[in-house]
Amino acid sequence: MFFFLVIGLWKWIIYRWDLQPFILPPPELVWERFITVLKSGSLWFHTVFTLTEAFLGFLAALIFGTFMGYILARSRLLEQLFSPYIVASRGIPVITIAPLLAIWFGFGLPSKVFVSFFIVFFPMLINTIIGIRSVNIGHRELMRAYGASRWQIFRYIEIPSAMPILLGGFKIGITSSIMGAVVGEFVSADRGLGFLVNQSKGLYDTPLMFVAIGTLAALSFILYTSVWGLEIILLRGRPEQNAEQTRF
């Protein structure tokens, strides 16, 4: 129902202000453009490239963010030493360093992956710190009293307890990785959905721009839903409030 309301409002706005297609194309024109680039294989080509950049950036941020987050969560001293620099780096708009990364790493895949990594790293780090510190101290001490090793405490206490918050970081990170890849493509690229948006802007091909933006929105939705499905599987059998902690 909501979909048809949006389409109806869209067409009414065009009719009310008599907008030209290069300003706001009608839904049927956008659909025709979508079918055209889909059949030509162009849309798949650019989508796969953007997904590759986003996935590699997310994977790198997941590994380094959770690793560093765990270390900082277990050491107040290290957190006090590194937190100011981490927060300061977060304050730098990624669009300002993307050109510099393109100069350092070239105009290919690495620079886009690094931009994606830069955006995803911070939420993964913070959620890991919060998740590990949410572990019940009494449970941890009880395990130690029974002679459990650090690995056993990590596996049976820390990971299960922190999992709802970590999955919240996954949701933020997986969608942010798409944004990072597109920002990198805006600066320098000859492929990808960000490049497609730039190209359509230069050609005043507004229907193609709508197709690219719609594809990005669909990708973000699919990735977010995938992590949400993973959350349901991993948190199955837990009290409902745990799962609600990471639901937006």
Q: Which tokens is 24 given?
A: 């706001």
With contact defined as beta carbons under 8 Å apart, do 208 and 33 qualify? Answer: yes
- Evaluate whether residue 36 is within a structural domain: no
pLDDT of residue 145: 86
- Evaluate whether residue 236 is within a structural domain: yes
- d(CA 121, CA 24) in angstroms, rounded, equals 36
Show the domain range for 150: 50-244
- Evaluate whether residue 55 is within a structural domain: yes
Q: Within 10 Å of residue 184's Cβ, how many Cβ atoms?
A: 35
- d(CA 148, CA 204) in angstroms, rounded, equals 65
Number of structural domains found in the chain: 1
Supply the mean pLDDT for the chain.
89
pLDDT mean over 78-107: 84
The CATH number that applies at residue 92 is: 1.10.3720.10
| Helix residue spans in 107-192 (DSSP H) | 109-133, 137-145, 150-153, 159-187
pLDDT of residue 205: 93
pLDDT of residue 240: 52
- Evaluate whether residue 8 is within a structural domain: no
- d(CA 48, CA 167) in angstroms, rounded, equals 25
For 89, residues 6+ apart whose C-beta sits below 8 A from its C-beta are 122
pLDDT at 243 over 70: no
Global pTM reads: 0.88
Around 100, how many Cα atoms within 13 Å sit in the side-chain half-sphere?
Answer: 6
234 vs 242 pLDDT, higher one: 234
With contact defined as beta carbons under 8 Å apart, do 180 and 94 qualify? Answer: yes
pLDDT of residue 239: 60
- Evaluate whether residue 18 is within a structural domain: no
Burial of residue 212, with CB atoms counted within 10 A of its CB: 0-12 exposed, 13-18 middle, 19 or more buried: buried
- d(CA 46, CA 194) in angstroms, rounded, equals 9
Structure confidence by residue, pLDDT tens digits, 94-145: 888 888 888 888 888 899 999 999 999 999 999 999 999 888 888 888 888 8
- Evaluate whether residue 122 is within a structural domain: yes
pLDDT at 158 over 70: yes
- Evaluate whether residue 205 is within a structural domain: yes
SS3 of 91, please? coil
pLDDT at 246 over 50: no
pLDDT at 248 over 60: no
- Evaluate whether residue 169 is within a structural domain: yes
pLDDT of residue 65: 94
